[in-house]
Amino acid sequence: MSEPAVPYAEALREFEPVIGLETHVELGTASKMFCGCDASFGAEPNTHTCPVCLGLPGALPVVNARAIESTVRIGLALHCDIASWCRFARKNYFYPDMPKNFQTSQYDEPLCTDGYLDVEVPVEGGTAETVRIPIERVHLEEDTGKSLHVGGATGRIHGASHSLVDYNRAGIPLVEIVTKPVAGTGARPAEVAKAYVTELRDVLRGLGVSDVRMEQGSLRCDVNVSLNPPGAPWGTRSETKNVNSLRSVERAVRSEVERQAARLRAGQRIVQETRHFHEDSGLSTSGRSKEEATDYRYFPEPDLVPVAPDPEWVAELRADLPEAPSVLRRRQIGSLGLSELDSAAMVNAGALDLVLATVAAGAPAAEARNWWLGPLAQAANAGGVEPADLPITPDQVARVVAIVAEGSLTPGLARQVVEGVLAGEGGPDQVIRARGLAVVSDEGVLAAAVDEALAASPDAADKVRSGKVAAVGALVGAVMKATRGQADATVVRRLLLERLGVSE
Amino acid sequence: MSSADLTRFTAAETAAAIASREVSAVEVAQAHLERISSVDGAVHAFLHVDADGALAAAARVDAARAAGTALGPLAGVPLAMKDVIVTQGIPTTAGSRILEGWVPPYDATILTRLKGAGLVLLGKTNMDEFAMGSSTEHSAYGPTFNPWDLGRIPGGSGGGSAAAVAAYEAPLAVGTDTGGSIRQPASVTGTVGVKPTYGGVSRFGLIAFSSSLDQAGPCARTVLDAALLHEAMAGHDPADSTSIDAPVPPVVAAARSGDVAGLRVGVVRELSGEGYEPGVQQRFEEAVALLSDLGAKVVEVSCPHFAYALPAYYLIAPSEASSNLARFDSVRYGLRVDDDGVRSLEEVMSATRAAGFGAEVKRRIILGTYALSSGYYDAYYGQAQKVRTLITRDFAAAFEIADVLVSPASPGVAFPLGAKVDDPLAMYRQDLATIPSNLYGGPAMSLPMGLSEGLPVGLQVMAPTMRDDLLYQVAGALEAALHDRWGGNLLASVPELAA
Ligand SMILES: [Zn+2]
């Protein structure tokens, strides 16, 4: 079922990639785009609805002014021109989760145009290079409802016995951010795509316009990819939808590069089509062909009046923009006193905010960095998630660091505590209590363990006595094992050497 | 006073009689419900009569009166409402099979306002399906018959509202006017019908035909009654983005003043002559002469782009309709056919729309879908919008030299049922004179100017946007003079309909 692929690096030695990204962001406004309904996530199905967002006959839309403001701020943060006058348009097509069978969107008159976003892309050696991503447009539209297909094997409409529709999401303000085609990404189109979405997410988060949770669908990506032989015109592009994590953005570009390269190498043509990305396999499958594209019959929405942002108001919004994440990051990294290499590593791992938050919660920068780039990065990798999505908070990491500093945990025990937190056993203190983890500092208890270890390994004891102090390691290990790791290794070592009459 | 007499009062008289305790609102409602029972079998103006709701609303007015609460100028007056306006708890079909059985969960803003003003809703009136037509023959529930001659059409699309008023089933009715659906029925039933300035009356709760053209307005037997209803329903509505946030023009005061001395009345050259029946033309010339006698200054104006109004309208309105009517898909409300668990969603949607929409609605959906489609948009929809701009400029230029414009409201008298139903273009030409005001957005009215071949014909008055008061000023003066000439309201000569 999976298509032939040429390995990524090899594919990009043979072909030049062009990528493009369309990002949909659900705004975090209190109410929906065109009615007063609650726009929050997670309510019982169809409880956040009214005649307007259900598209009942006779109901009319009224624009949410806060959504316009958020969109203008996004446009400004992305260095766009803000239209002095623009209109909404109807995008007409039939779909049951779209109550009016048209989506109120923007067509040839978007609110924001012609901007860019600078992103830092990791390069060999651990540092980063800045790539400028040109932004074509930023426009505002309404989200659709959500269909749940029941009774089929796949959860898709095909084969389902019936479908349920939840209109809570219908009418949530949605901002679409479209890049221009990005050429010249060389051997790293997937890395550039991921860096762009990451940076965009940070910009949006900094603006406070959305909670940008990809797993809840408040940030969604469509990824366009084409390949062409060096120097040739751009190739036919595919559009991969349903890309709902940062990791998947990278994987989607990667797998599409590999798939297209194999087709091109075999002399086959690339079909202009929509493809669906599957989180589990990291591969995409063909959806509908765009070559028989729907005609959306766009026309200006007659139920709404044009939007004409006052230039003075736009200037005020511009003046009030928060610091760009890249600038903020540089300042914060400076304050941590860590090396540039560490900084790049943290940015690449998506761990900078976590390190900062851990430091803010009281941990020393070096400790925070070690945790997030070490055991926690490994855990994230193993689970295929972003570090931020691990079930442990920076506050909890800082708490573990503090307990170690107090001397109540050894580094080894601290790891066990973190494992417990990640396994959902509760917060650090809870895990310590439940697992009975604490440093055994009662020298009487330890002395017994030391005696046992010496009795069990007379050879090792002799070696130490004869001056081979390094041989004490095996004895320390035995004591640690006997105390289930709860002893302080430094103390154990001191006790062993004392008992053997050896001084360092 | 017999209950039959109560239906003969104007709305203003009825309200005064209720306020002065001469009659109760319940007696008035009862009289109209009886009238409906006795004549609506012949007229078929109503699709749904809400007798219980009407009597309860009337009782509330009487209770308020008994409690000493100050009553509004139309409190207790019965009202009929075109079935394209949503009414909470009362079936609303827009004359279509596809909405059969749908009971809206909310009231249109205008209904909320009129209920608040103490008007008593009798029921919902018949109409061409989704307001598409000029004869009410395109209703999925059968035609309405003209009270002047039951063999003839009452105009359309709001034939039910006009016929209900002409047949004394209701003193007031609400209509909607996208291309003449209030004015042309008014013209052929001898009633007064007004399309207010676009944005002057809320569209929230009006089932959209063509969003940029639709406007609700009053139907009545006198100019003053129309003004009273107009004032009660107009005004800014934050739920309608296209609603104008400005004071309602003083229409009632204007209707009462009825003075045209010195007013410049422009006769639109392009809206007479060819295409207009000689009898209509003759009454029109007499009305203009009468206005002149009353002191108005009559001038001739030319609006050269009015010639393109009809084709532009038949691109813009169907385009918007094709999108507005997309929501009728069987998923959330209304008709659903062939849902057998085997057919796909698309098949059920398609079958429902095939079964639920009538031929005229389908014709316009197809027209509009084509006009908006990629590759044709600029040539059709885009071009029509340019014509719309030119027509607006024609109006602006005409209003430089005239305060109001006049023309016949319809090209002829009511035609026999069936005469044009198979000839869409002939049907469309009924709205030759009314469409320009919809494209421009300004207010326009039809009021009776006399009989031709024994049937009523209307005079159209058009004014600049938000100068709805000028319509009433001219109409008030002309109506007074005509009533003097006729010895009363033209509608007094509607044949007795009761069995
Ligand atoms: Zn809503």
Q: Which of A37, A158, A297, A298 to mutate to test the interface with B (most CBs of B within 10 A)?
A: A297
Contact B228, B74 (CB under 8 A): yes
Q: Is residue B61 part of a domain?
A: yes
H-type alpha helices, B139-250: 159-166, 183-189, 223-233
Return the pLDDT at B468. Answer: 98
Amino acid symbol at B23:
V
Report d(CA A482, CA A429) in Å as an integer: 23
Return the pLDDT at A151. Answer: 77
Q: Is residue A67 part of a domain?
A: yes
Q: Is residue B385 part of a domain?
A: no
Let me know whether A214 and A362 are in one domain.
no
What is the residue-wise DSSP string for A145-212?
-EEEEESSSSSSSTT-SEEEEE-SSTT-EEEEEEEPPEE--TT-HHHHHHHHHHHHHHHHHHHTS---
Neighbours of A180 (CB within 10 A): 14
C-alpha distances in Å from residue A252, one per residue of A194, A236, A242: 10, 17, 10
> Which residues crowd ion ligand 1, with CB under 5 Å?
A 35, 37, 50, 52-53
**Cβ–Cβ below 8 Å for A58 and B320:** no
Task: Name the percent of chain A lying above pLDDT 90.
Answer: 58
B373 part of the active site: no
**Token duo for residue A89:** 């348009």
Contact A227, A261 (CB under 8 A): yes
Return the pLDDT at A219. Answer: 94
Contact A163, A194 (CB under 8 A): no
Contacts of A58 in chain B (CB under 8 A): 85-86, 104, 108, 204-208
Q: Is residue A2 part of a domain?
A: no
B341 touches chain A (CB under 8 A): yes
Give B371 to chain A, closest Cα distance, Å: 9
Contact B437, B200 (CB under 8 A): no
Amino acid symbol at A380:
A
What is the residue-wise DSSP string for A106-151?
-SSS-SEEEEEEEEEEE-TTS-EEEEEEEEEEEEEEE---EEEEES
The position carrying tokens 């109503």 is B46
Question: Which pLDDT band, with edges at 50, 70 and 90, does A292 fall under?
Answer: low
Let me know whether A244 and A358 are in one domain.
no
Return the pLDDT at A403. Answer: 87
Whether A153 shows a pLDDT value over 70: the answer reads no
Q: Is residue B349 part of a domain?
A: no
Name which of B281, B313, B303, B314 is nearest B402 in CA terms: B303
Chain A / chain B CB contacts < 8 angstroms: 100
Report d(CA B343, CA B328) in Å as an integer: 18
Q: Which residue of B has its CA nearest to A158?
A: B344
Query: Number of helices and strands (H, E) in chain A?
Result: 17, 15
What string of pLDDT tens digits covers the 499 residues of chain B? 455 589 999 999 999 999 999 999 999 999 999 999 999 999 999 999 999 999 999 999 999 999 999 999 999 999 999 999 999 999 999 999 999 999 999 999 999 999 999 999 999 999 999 999 999 999 999 999 999 999 999 999 999 999 999 999 999 999 999 999 999 999 999 999 999 999 999 999 999 999 999 999 999 999 999 999 999 999 999 999 999 999 999 999 999 998 999 999 999 999 988 889 999 999 999 999 999 999 999 999 999 999 999 999 999 999 999 999 999 999 999 999 998 888 888 899 999 999 999 999 999 999 999 999 999 999 999 999 999 999 999 999 999 999 999 999 999 999 999 999 889 888 899 999 999 999 999 999 999 999 999 999 999 999 999 999 999 999 999 999 999 999 999 999 999 886 5
Q: Please state the rounded mean pLDDT for residues A321-332.
A: 86
Q: Is residue B361 part of a domain?
A: no
Return the pLDDT at B2. Answer: 56
Return the pLDDT at A465. Answer: 85
Let me know whether A214 and A119 are in one domain.
yes
Higher pLDDT, A151 or A226: A226
pTM above 0.90, yes or no: no
**Cβ–Cβ below 8 Å for B345 and A304:** no
Q: Is residue B318 part of a domain?
A: no
B124 part of the active site: no
Report d(CA B21, CA B66) in Å as an integer: 9
Residue B389 makes CB contacts below 8 A (sequence gap 6+) with none
Return the pLDDT at A499. Answer: 84
Let me know whether A366 and A222 are in one domain.
no
Contacts of B329 in chain A (CB under 8 A): 94, 96, 101
Return the pLDDT at A404. Answer: 87
Helix H or strand E encompassing B456: strand B455-462
Q: Is residue B17 part of a domain?
A: yes
Return the pLDDT at B463. Answer: 98
Contact B39, B167 (CB under 8 A): yes
Let me know whether A472 and A385 are in one domain.
no
B350 touches chain A (CB under 8 A): no
How many Å lie between the centroid of ligand 1 and the Cα of residue A52?
Answer: 5
Q: Is residue A83 part of a domain?
A: yes
Let me know whether A73 and A173 are in one domain.
yes
**Token duo for residue B60:** 């509330």
Let me know whether A374 and A400 are in one domain.
yes
Mean pLDDT score of chain A: 90
Return the pLDDT at A448. Answer: 84
**Token duo for residue A145:** 């409802």
Query: Three-state SS string across A203-256, please?
Result: HHHHHCCCCCCHHHCCEEEEEEEEEECCCCCCCCCEEEEEECCHHHHHHHHHHH
User: What would the pLDDT profile of A28-38 be if each residue is shown by its tens digit?
Assistant: 999 999 999 99
C-alpha distances in Å from residue B186, one per residue of B195, B234, B402: 11, 20, 24
Let me know whether A384 and A470 are in one domain.
no
User: What would the pLDDT profile of A203-228 be if each residue is shown by its tens digit?
Assistant: 999 999 999 988 888 999 999 999 99
Neighbours of B480 (CB within 10 A): 13
**Cβ–Cβ below 8 Å for B345 and A61:** no
User: What would the pLDDT profile of A66-125 be if each residue is shown by its tens digit?
Assistant: 999 999 999 999 999 999 999 999 999 998 899 999 999 999 999 999 999 999 888 877
Neighbours of A292 (CB within 10 A): 6
User: What would the pLDDT profile of A341-368 be if each residue is shown by its tens digit?
Assistant: 677 777 777 788 899 899 989 999 889 9
* Phi, psi at A347, each rounded to 5°: -65, -45
Least confident range of A17-21, A99-103, A323-327, B362-366: A323-327
Structural domain boundaries enclosing B273: 3-305+390-493
How many Å lie between the centroid of ligand 1 and the Cα of residue A34?
Answer: 7
Return the pLDDT at A291. Answer: 52
Q: Is residue A495 part of a domain?
A: yes
Q: Give Rg (Cα) of chain B.
A: 21
Residue B341 makes CB contacts below 8 A (sequence gap 6+) with A161, A162
Give the total residue count for chain A.
Answer: 504
Return the pLDDT at A157. Answer: 66
Whether A328 shows a pLDDT value over 90: the answer reads no
Contact B74, B18 (CB under 8 A): no
Q: Which of B134, B139, B157, B243 is catalytic?
A: B157
Return the pLDDT at A421. Answer: 93
Contacts of A163 in chain B (CB under 8 A): 345
Report d(CA B79, CA B165) in Å as an integer: 9
C-alpha distances in Å from residue A389, one per residue of A332, A367, A381, A385: 22, 20, 11, 6
Residue A201 makes CB contacts below 8 A (sequence gap 6+) with A212, A214, A219, A246
Give the total residue count for chain B.
Answer: 499
Question: Considering its fold, how many domains does chain A have in total?
Answer: 3
Q: Is residue B268 part of a domain?
A: yes
B362 part of the active site: no
Let me know whether A431 and A365 are in one domain.
yes
Return the pLDDT at B100. Answer: 95
Structural domain boundaries enclosing A407: 323-435
Query: Which CATH number does the domain housing residue B168 bear?
Result: 3.90.1300.10
**Cβ–Cβ below 8 Å for A101 and B327:** yes
Q: Which residue of A has its CA nearest to B207?
A: A58
Return the pLDDT at B131. Answer: 98
**Token duo for residue B134:** 């000029």
Let me know whether A147 and A280 are in one domain.
yes
SS3 A43: coil
In chain A, the largest separation of any two C-alpha atoms, in whole Å, equals: 97
Q: Is residue B187 part of a domain?
A: yes
SS3 A300: strand
Contact B216, B206 (CB under 8 A): yes
Neighbours of B476 (CB within 10 A): 25
The shortest CB-CB distance from B373 to any of A58, A295, A304 is to: A295
Give the residues across from A92 on adjacent strands: A102
* Phi, psi at B264, each rounded to 5°: -90, 115
Let me know whether A198 and A263 are in one domain.
yes
Contacts of B345 in chain A (CB under 8 A): 96, 157, 163
Q: Is residue A341 part of a domain?
A: yes
Report d(CA A498, CA A446) in Å as an integer: 13
**Cβ–Cβ below 8 Å for A55 and B373:** no
What is the residue-wise DSSP string for B189-215?
HT-EEEEPPTTTB--TTBPPSSTTT--
Q: Is residue A120 part of a domain?
A: yes
Let me know whether A24 and A76 are in one domain.
yes
A54 touches chain B (CB under 8 A): yes
* Sign of torsion over alpha carbons A278, A284, A289, A293: positive
Question: Considering its fold, how many domains does chain B have in total?
Answer: 1
Which of the listed residues A384, A412, A435 is the one where a domain comes to its end? A435
SS3 A286: strand
Amino acid symbol at B287:
A
How many Å lie between the centroid of ligand 1 and the Cα of residue B328?
Answer: 18
Report d(CA A307, CA B379) in Å as an integer: 26
B416 touches chain A (CB under 8 A): no
Residue A369 makes CB contacts below 8 A (sequence gap 6+) with A336, A338, A342, A346, A355
Return the pLDDT at B332. Answer: 92
Q: Is residue A1 part of a domain?
A: no
Task: Name the percent of chain A lying above pLDDT 70.
Answer: 96
Q: Is residue A3 part of a domain?
A: no
Q: Which of B24, B135, B139, B181 is catalytic?
A: B181
**Cβ–Cβ below 8 Å for B320 and A302:** yes
